[in-house]
Amino acid sequence: MSSETTYREAMREAIRTAMQEDERVFLAGEDVGRYGGSYAVSMGLLEEFGPERIVDTPLCESGFTGAGIGAAMNGMRPIIEIMTVNFSLLALDQIMNNAATLQHMSAGQINVPIVIRMATGAGKQLAAQHSHSLEGWYAHIPGLKVLTPATVQDAHDMIGLALADPDPVLIFENALLYNAKGTLDITLKPLPIGKAKVEKEGKDITILAYGINLFKALEAAETLEKEGIDAEVIDLRSLRPLDDETIMASVKKTHRVMIVDEGWKSGSISAEIMARINEQAFYELDAPMGRVCTMEVPIPYARHLEEAALPNPAKIVAMAHKVMEDA
């Protein structure tokens, strides 16, 4: 059964369903209760489930993330909402030194089945401190899974997948996607964590993207098609684990590749993907790889400067042409 809905409503419905089906599931974070969430994802859930399961927390990311880790260790299934990714740095010690390591340090005796959600990305004129794209940083850490839902379907499905996982799962939700509309089919079997999806078949060049940049890549692919270039567009969906199999299969098909990444170029997830392609499919390449990343500056507040700093379809088209010309 499919229906049109928004990204936020799909997430809300997934959380509601999980809480109805499993009394161990609860949601905690700043303003998730009476206010309905900073991005209105949890609107109405407090009235439905009460303050013991929809928990408004103090402004202390380290404290409520640590409480969530403790609850997960003791059999609960917490969903922790961190308002924006920059605030997650205040909980980084809990995430990296506790959630990600406890299974290893306990010799497999302790699992931490916690889900941590946070808004990521720029484009809302929130200036440098609230516009980070740090999902690539977290993908560096063993013991974590890092998901980046782009579509309404994944916004819904990844909540259930994350709650079913025995280990910590971080979900990065681009803040510009909450109002996005799309089709949700609750009868579809979800794609598993770690599986990329070919959103558009093509034969000339592979464009790898995730989050909101998936739609910029698809728009760029339409322009390229009019210019005689048939681009294959892949939604990575998961940054840890990465789906090397799908990536390499596409590289072997098109022999040219580029990555669109809202993170900064230096030390980015795009750099990791390029390294893996070099290791696993170097001789399949007919041209040097390309990438479009955010400019290496603190994100500007002024709208025209913010837009100039971010990946966009025109930049993707230009990079695709460069990769094709270098072949």
Q: In the chain, what are the domains?
A: 2-185 (3.40.50.970), 197-326 (3.40.50.920)
pLDDT at 223: 98
What span, in angstroms and rounded, lies between the C-alpha atoms of 8 and 5? 8
- Residue of 115, 109, 119, 96 whose CA lies nearest to 173: 119
pTM of the model: 0.97
What span, in angstroms and rounded, lies between the C-alpha atoms of 300 and 309? 8
pLDDT at 327: 67
Average pLDDT, the chain: 97
Which residue is listed with tokens 């403790």? 70
pLDDT digits (tens, 9 = 90+) for 144-203: 999 999 999 999 999 999 999 999 999 999 999 999 999 999 999 999 999 999 999 999
**Which residues lie across from 240 on neighbouring strands?**
146
Tell me: pLDDT of 49 over 90. Answer: yes
- Residue of 233, 262, 258, 234 whose CA lies nearest to 136: 262
On whether the CB atoms of residues 33 and 3 are closer than 8 A, the answer is no
pLDDT digits (tens, 9 = 90+) for 266-315: 999 999 999 999 999 999 999 999 999 999 999 999 999 999 999 999 99
pLDDT at 128: 94
Other Cβ atoms closer than 10 A to 214: 28
Asked, as a colleague might, if the bond just before 241 is cis with ω within 30 of 0, I would say yes
Which listed residue (13, 130, 219, 225) is catalytic?
A: 130
> By three-state DSSP, how is residue 287 classified?
coil
- Residue of 163, 63, 57, 46 whose CA lies nearest to 116: 163
Active site residue 130: yes
Other Cβ atoms closer than 10 A to 63: 14
Residue 231 parent element (H or E)? strand 231-235
Tell me: pLDDT of 114 over 90. Answer: yes
CA distances to 49, 211, 216, 273, 324 from 310, rounded to whole Å, are 39, 13, 11, 20, 22
Which listed residue (30, 61, 262, 272) is catalytic?
A: 61
Active site residue 304: no
Q: Which token pair is 48?
A: 């439905």
pLDDT at 106: 97
What is the number of alpha carbons within 13 Å of residue 44 lying toward its C-beta?
A: 8
Tell me: pLDDT of 30 over 70. Answer: yes
